[in-house]
Amino acid sequence: MLKDQDIRIAVIGTGYVGLPVAVAFAGHFPVTAFDISAARIAELQAGVDSTREVSAAELRAAERLSFCDNAEELAGCNVYIVTVPTPVDRHKRPDFSALVAASETVGRSLSMDDTVIYESTVYPGATEEICVPVLERVSGLSLNNDFTVGYSPERINPSDKVHRLADIVKVTSGSTPEAADFVDALYGRIVAAGTHRAPSIRTAEAAKVIENIQRDVNIALINELTILFNRMQLDPKAVLEAAGTKWNFLGFRPGLVGGHCVGVDPYFLTHKAQELGHHPEMILAGRRINDGMAEYAAGLALNALMQRGIAVKGARALVMGLTFKEDCPDLRSTKVSGLVGALKNVGVAVDVHDPVANAEDARAECGIELTRQPSDGVYDLVVLAVPHREFAAMGASAVRALLTPGGVLFDLKWMLPDGAADLRL
């Protein structure tokens, strides 16, 4: 395998996953970070990361890191790390088009004794069943004879400044024992928390998807309990706080489950399960519950308006926050857009304000025009959908000032103190 002084790394994809990986490895090796987006490369070359995962100071300090959108500049690299997104399509089937395209890009530069490491989330078996054949076809080389492959699933938590790449144990694997040793040692250079070497690539792939399935199913349980407790006229927050006094009660909260991981990854495993003739009942049940929470939340808000005698058709609403989680500009698979759509479908005029989201991305991803500065005293309904720091800093009185007299303040994420909102999930 390669010696340290010979390693030259290429990172394919410079998003929430790829950029931190590239910056970390650039502290030890020459790194070329490639992205098909010329605009993304231009901003990174200017020292700006719109994802907010890497600071300008960190980019300046990464002296051995270069950026490119020309795949020919990958020539001479010998370790390729693929970090492209793997979403699902509208039928909830895995969309590996970016993964296949990235594998083709790598295949055109692949040489003898190189190693390709995948971090993108897939179902168990996909690396060897989908990616490797592409590498072999394009390069003309043979797996484990001419090159090796590894899989080390990403565990990036966007906007989390405590649990960063170096602080999260990294699962590693390889297509041969020697490749597994190499991949494990490589990540050991940048992950202070340590590594966990899985016995196979398929094991590492499976570990990644069940991390997020477990979280998805647990949130679905709390969401279903929340629906039930609301019907029983019990405060879900009070019930969960009481139950949480037991040492082994898990502290999940209800909410809208979006984003590029928890709301997507379960479909990778259910797709593979159904291929094998197994119907994954609990996983899909959890998905159905969580996918329905945006409409449920909209229903609560509309009911609250009607109880106050406010006509739904023509009512004005402000939804505060559009991204899939707090303090993060990522709009992928955000469920807030479903809430907005459900309100609009019954005639509510909806403004959406999000100081963290990019306006062009909101337009492209969600078909939503962001409101730059909401006006006080004009909204019949204000929904605190995403608890950004900027919203928390406003305080309850400033948020309530946005309402008309008798308007409804809906604290969907329990951001405000008890009693400060008229409604919460």
Which positions are annotated as active-site residues? 261
Are 184 and 241 in contact by the 8 Å Cβ rule? The answer is no
Residues 169 and 211: their CA atoms lie apart, in Å, by: 13
Determine the angle formed by the axes of helices 281-291 and 265-275, rounding to 10 degrees.
Answer: 140
Report the candidate in 48, 52, 41 with the shortest Cα–Cα distance to residue 13.
41
79: its two tokens: 């370790």
Residues 396 and 271: their CA atoms lie apart, in Å, by: 44
Which distant-in-sequence residues (6+ apart) come within 8 Å of 364 by Cβ?
none
CB atoms within 10 A of CB 272: 20
Handedness of CA 270, 287, 344, 374 (dihedral sign): negative
49: its two tokens: 């990361």
Handedness of CA 390, 395, 397, 399 (dihedral sign): positive
Handedness of CA 377, 378, 384, 386 (dihedral sign): negative
Q: Which residue has the tokens 């720091």?
A: 389
CB atoms within 10 A of CB 137: 12
